[in-house]
């Protein structure tokens, strides 16, 4: 059984950073986000390219990114070498942020671009692997397609929804998908055909898929609320370090 050391290490670092940041007094926390988030107006401050990838604006933001990192990261870690995994993770995050920079003057934080990069690569290299992200087992490629359709819908019809960097997601997804072709072109091409098949399945089974994702979203939202309380409480207990 794979240990998924890189995936768990990245999750641990992200959670630790979150706890440290949110344990700080509000003025200090605001200064941290100002100093380490990424934006077009400060793009020459190169350290922000990396630090922004480990900052999260809320417990919910952290939870959903880490959930995606766990599911997609562990699949990809089993399929590619460490250097490829880390390259996909960080370069997808960087390119995702730069894509967002072209569409907005706002600052951006979070591992979303990194996670979508992992998703893009894994859905092409292991499209039929089962994932239980929405309670019921679904092919990884189908879950990826649902994410892509959702992001595309939001970008075109509700671009300000949730104050989320959707263009960063798309940038990361495309980057990870390109990496998949460099990792294993033959498998990636097969993955494209599986994704096309998933699109056809969605056309005919959209009500059923909608029900499954609806149930899964409700459960995840409940877990998100509980973990939010746990994370903010833990951060509060660490406030003595400041």
Structure tokens at 70: 């766990």
130 φ, ψ (degrees, to nearest 5): -85, 140
Structure tokens at 6: 């890189």
Which of 52, 112, 168, 177 does the annotation list as catalytic? 112
Nearest CA-CA partner of 114 in 80, 76, 146, 152: 76
Our answer to whether residue 112 is catalytic in this structure is: yes
- CA torsion through residues 131, 133, 136, 139, sign: negative
Rama region for 109: left / alpha / beta (φ>0; ψ in -120 to 50; rest) = beta
Which of 56, 61, 166, 169 does the annotation list as catalytic? 166
Our answer to whether residue 169 is catalytic in this structure is: no
Tell me which residues are annotated as active site.
112, 166
């Amino acid at each position: 059984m794979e240990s998924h050391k890189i995936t768990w290490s990245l999750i641990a670092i992200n959670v630790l950073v979150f706890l440290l940041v949110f344990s700080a007094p509000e003025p200090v926390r605001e200064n941290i986000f100002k100093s380490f988030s990424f934006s077009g107006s400060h793009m020459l401050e190169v350290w922000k390219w990396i630090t922004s990838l480990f900052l999260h604006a809320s417990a919910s933001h952290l939870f959903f990114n880490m959930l995606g990192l766990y599911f997609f990261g562990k699949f990809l870690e089993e399929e590619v070498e460490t250097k490829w995994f880390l390259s996909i993770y960080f370069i997808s995050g960087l390119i995702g942020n730069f894509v967002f920079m072209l569409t907005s003057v706002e600052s951006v934080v979070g591992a979303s671009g990194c996670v979508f990069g992992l998703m893009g690569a894994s859905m092409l290299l292991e499209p039929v692997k089962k994932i239980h992200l929405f309670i019921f087992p679904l092919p990884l490629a189908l879950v990826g397609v649902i994410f892509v359709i959702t992001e595309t819908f939001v970008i075109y019809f509700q671009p300000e929804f949730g104050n989320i960097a959707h263009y960063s997601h798309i940038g990361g997804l495309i980057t990870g998908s390109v990496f998949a072709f460099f990792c294993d072109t033959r498998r990636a091409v097969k993955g494209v055909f599986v994704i096309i098949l998933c699109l056809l399945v969605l056309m005919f089974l959209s009500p059923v898929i909608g029900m499954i994702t609806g149930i899964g979203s409700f459960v995840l939202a409940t877990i998100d609320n509980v973990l939010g309380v746990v994370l903010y409480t833990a951060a509060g207990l660490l406030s003595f370090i400041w």
